[in-house]
A = this chain, B = another copy of it.
């Protein structure tokens, strides 16, 4: 089955909203064995929506719409679909009741415009919305006079509502596959996540594998990291896994030192697993990242098992008061220095009584840089119980340089990637002790 995802909403074409739904739905469809050939976005304009429908039914069998189901006058998807397929709209009594109950439960007044959302084309099924008020539709129009197969699903544009409603759409697709006696070729993907290597270098090391037709191997750039998609087509998930296993092994033989995990695994999730398992506590002393590292670490459910206190010491006086950094160290070397990074980590460990301590001090910009200490420079300090191999004081300090042309929030994010990556290596006992190792910038280089 070939699918096409069509987002409706002028806010997309104005650039006000990023179309993250298309990517999310694509992932769901891959797991159902449905190929996605196109994503399209079109504005709140009935004529152009109709031209997109007529183009899509020529080349795709499953059309998935997002957006344009809202309560306001510029929400046109359902009415335009009904119009295109010459089918009258009717109010769905169940949807009317659901919408009314939604407002009663929240003690909120209902807008009359909300009831518009209960209308659907005759013959379409309702996809109920457990999170908001706009129901979706599942509609098989291939039975209605056309001689090509055409299945239509329509969901609200608000991601949370789409996510909550998706399983009903998936059931509709699966039922269709069974009716067709279609044994879908499942496409199973895994993603290997790397930090510390650029896309082209990685592509060169794997160029022979990237020429394979099944499984396919393709690198792409994530946020401040490189990812590798390996994907196999097979009749079942088990068969696909069997095809993928040797490819993954070969890739890790070549690039294991940069690899940290699969699929949705993040550096912070790997760290969480390590710390939870070890029973050790961690404290973070951040300067330039301003709480980002702490926030990323506490995004992981259960992080309260090893997080008790993190200190965001932006000021110099506070580096002394809360971390015991010596005033003379600050004077002699400056706040952005390996010496201060080391004292921050050691002081945080001592002061908070935690086993592990991670510190960072640097320059996130756009101001505050100099020739000697440019924007994008940071020192990261790590100390902990596994650090007997470290140099003096059981503390390792790493220096990193991020492209100073990045904006402040991105530089903070890169700093946090480096810090979490080094911390994970330290927890694994593989962190190298040399101060001045500058890592190549991951990304397309």
Are the CB atoms of B290 and A298 closer together than 8 Å? yes
Are the CB atoms of A132 and B444 closer together than 8 Å? yes
Are the CB atoms of B203 and A111 closer together than 8 Å? yes
| Least distance between A15 CB and chain B CB atoms (Å) | 3
| Bound-complex Cα distance A123 to B290 (A) | 49
Are the CB atoms of B290 and A444 closer together than 8 Å? no
Contacts of A251 in B (CB 8 A): none
| Bound-complex Cα distance A191 to B15 (A) | 12
Are the CB atoms of B290 and A307 closer together than 8 Å? yes
Are the CB atoms of A158 and B444 closer together than 8 Å? yes
Q: Which of A52, A284, A313 has the most CB of B within 10 A?
A: A313
Contacts of A291 in B (CB 8 A): 286, 291-295, 297-298, 310, 312
Are the CB atoms of B299 and A309 closer together than 8 Å? no
B42, B130, B131, B290: the one within 8 Å of A38 (CB): B42
Are the CB atoms of A156 and B444 closer together than 8 Å? yes
A204 CB–B CB distance under 8 Å: yes
Contact A200 B113, CB 8 Å, known A12-B39, A16-B220, A445-B108? yes
A365 CB–B CB distance under 8 Å: yes
A55 CB–B CB distance under 8 Å: yes
B160, B200, B295: the one within 8 Å of A72 (CB): B200
| Bound-complex Cα distance A415 to B274 (A) | 28
**Does more than half of chain A's interface fall in helix, strand or loop, or is it mixed?**
mixed
Contacts of A52 in B (CB 8 A): 38
B41, B74, B200, B221: the one within 8 Å of A133 (CB): B200
Are the CB atoms of B301 and A290 closer together than 8 Å? no
| Least distance between A74 CB and chain B CB atoms (Å) | 6
Contact A408 B72, CB 8 Å, known A294-B312, A440-B106, A444-B133? no
| Bound-complex Cα distance A91 to B443 (A) | 24
A201 CB–B CB distance under 8 Å: yes
Are the CB atoms of B290 and A297 closer together than 8 Å? yes
B9, B73, B229, B317: the one within 8 Å of A14 (CB): B229
B14, B189, B207, B286: the one within 8 Å of A26 (CB): B14
B7, B11, B307: the one within 8 Å of A229 (CB): B11
| Least distance between A383 CB and chain B CB atoms (Å) | 19
Contact with B along A2-34 (1 / 0, CB 8 A): 000001011111111111101111111010000
A36 CB–B CB distance under 8 Å: yes
Are the CB atoms of A309 and B314 closer together than 8 Å? yes
- Which chain A residues (130-182) contact chain B, with CB distance < 8 Å? 130-134, 156-158, 160-161, 164
B201, B297, B322, B406: the one within 8 Å of A309 (CB): B322
| Least distance between A294 CB and chain B CB atoms (Å) | 3
Are the CB atoms of A307 and B298 closer together than 8 Å? no
Contacts of A185 in B (CB 8 A): none
| Least distance between A335 CB and chain B CB atoms (Å) | 10
Are the CB atoms of B37 and A38 closer together than 8 Å? no
Contacts of A210 in B (CB 8 A): 72-74
Are the CB atoms of A39 and B13 closer together than 8 Å? yes
| Least distance between A59 CB and chain B CB atoms (Å) | 8
Contacts of A204 in B (CB 8 A): 111, 113
| Bound-complex Cα distance A16 to B225 (A) | 13
B72, B133, B284, B295: the one within 8 Å of A412 (CB): B295
Are the CB atoms of A132 and B19 closer together than 8 Å? no
A409 CB–B CB distance under 8 Å: yes
Nearest residue, chain B, Cβ from A443: B158
| Bound-complex Cα distance A293 to B292 (A) | 9
Q: Which of A24, A114, A200 has the most CB of B within 10 A?
A: A200
A71 CB–B CB distance under 8 Å: yes
A231 CB–B CB distance under 8 Å: yes
Contacts of A219 in B (CB 8 A): 72
- Leading 3 A-B pairs by shortest Cβ distance: A290-B298, A291-B294, A15-B26
